[in-house]
């Protein structure tokens, strides 16, 4: 039997993330977090100072593991389209492997309050956005891509993926389908990648 001796700090983070995802930040009480994690309530403030401290810590850890996947792609000696397609593949995979977190991030982003978090998320994303922008812009400048509204294209790619995460039932017409089921997730991942790669290829490279 695996030892029960995991540190409470991590248990609190795990429980909090799960609860924040399910019921939102305001909708989750410190007592729930304590109960779910098996830690005493005071431990939350002992480790993180406050409830918001827990939230910030979750965000920071996630965002830390978020960066620098794109940089490698961008430095490869491949065509702009291939770069973009790798980015799409990477994005779909990462986001659909962390649907709960991305729902939460999205939710908090849509709130006017907690501006520090808003800025933090925004900064983390805008860096990635710049890289994608660079890839597409390079493609346009070297003549392999059509002249398009670059920011809108990026919005389309990201919006499509987010849309799948938040309303998977829309995509999968069948109702008895679960994003947590690895089988179903694989299916929808492949569909999303195929669609977005096809869409961008046609839209960006069709001569007209």
Residues numbered 173-192 forming contacts with a copy of itself, rule: CB under 8 A: 173, 191-192
Contact 33, 54 (CB under 8 A): yes
Residue 46 beta carbon to a copy of itself: minimum distance, rounded to whole angstroms: 25
Please report whether residue 23 would count as binding DNA according to CB under 7 A: no
Cα-Cα-Cα-Cα dihedral sign, residues 203, 162, 116, 57: negative
Nearer Cβ to a copy of itself (44/196): 196
DSSP assigned state of 142 = T
Residue 120 binds which of DNA, a copy of itself, none (CB < 5-8 A, kind-dependent): none
Whether the CA torsion 81, 86, 87, 93 is positive or negative: it is: positive
Task: Select the residue interacting with a copy of itself from 6, 10, 23, 115 (CB under 8 A).
Answer: 23
Q: Is residue 106 close enough to count as binding a copy of itself by CB under 8 A? A: yes
Of the pair 40, 130, the CB lying nearest a copy of itself is at 130
Q: What is the C-alpha separation between 80 and 145, in angstroms, rounded?
A: 8
Is residue 29 part of the contact set for DNA (CB under 7 A)? yes
CA 49 to chain centre: 26
Cα 123 to its chain centre, rounded Å, is: 14
In the complex with a copy of itself, which residue's Cβ is closer, 65 or 155?
Answer: 155
CA 33, CA 171: separation in Å to the nearest integer? 33
Residue 41 interacting with DNA (CB under 7 A): yes
Residue with tokens 């965000």: 59
Q: Which residues bind a copy of itself (CB under 8 A)?
A: 21-27, 103-104, 106-107, 109-113, 122, 125-126, 129, 148-149, 151-156, 158-164, 166-167, 169-173, 191-192, 194-196, 198-199, 202-203, 206, 208
């Amino acid at each position: 039997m695996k030892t029960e001796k995991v540190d409470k700090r991590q248990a609190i983070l795990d429980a909090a993330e799960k609860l924040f995802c399910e019921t939102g930040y305001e909708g989750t009480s410190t007592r729930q977090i304590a109960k779910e994690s098996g830690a005493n309530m005071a431990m939350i403030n002992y480790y993180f100072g406050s409830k918001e401290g827990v939230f910030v810590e979750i965000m920071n850890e996630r965002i830390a593991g978020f960066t620098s996947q794109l940089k490698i792609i961008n430095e490869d000696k491949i065509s702009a389209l291939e770069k973009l397609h790798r980015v799409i593949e990477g994005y779909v995979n990462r986001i659909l492997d962390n649907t709960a977190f991305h729902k939460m991030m999205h939710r908090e982003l849509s709130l006017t309050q907690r501006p520090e978090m808003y800025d933090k998320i925004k900064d983390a994303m805008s860096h990635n956005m710049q890289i994608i922008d660079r890839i597409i812009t390079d493609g346009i400048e070297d003549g392999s891509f059509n002249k398009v509204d670059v920011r809108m294209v990026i919005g389309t790619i990201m919006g499509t993926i987010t849309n799948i995460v938040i309303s998977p039932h829309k995509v999968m017409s069948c109702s008895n389908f679960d994003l947590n089921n690895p089988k179903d997730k694989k299916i929808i991942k492949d569909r999303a990648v195929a669609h977005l790669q096809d869409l961008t290829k046609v839209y960006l490279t069709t001569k007209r």
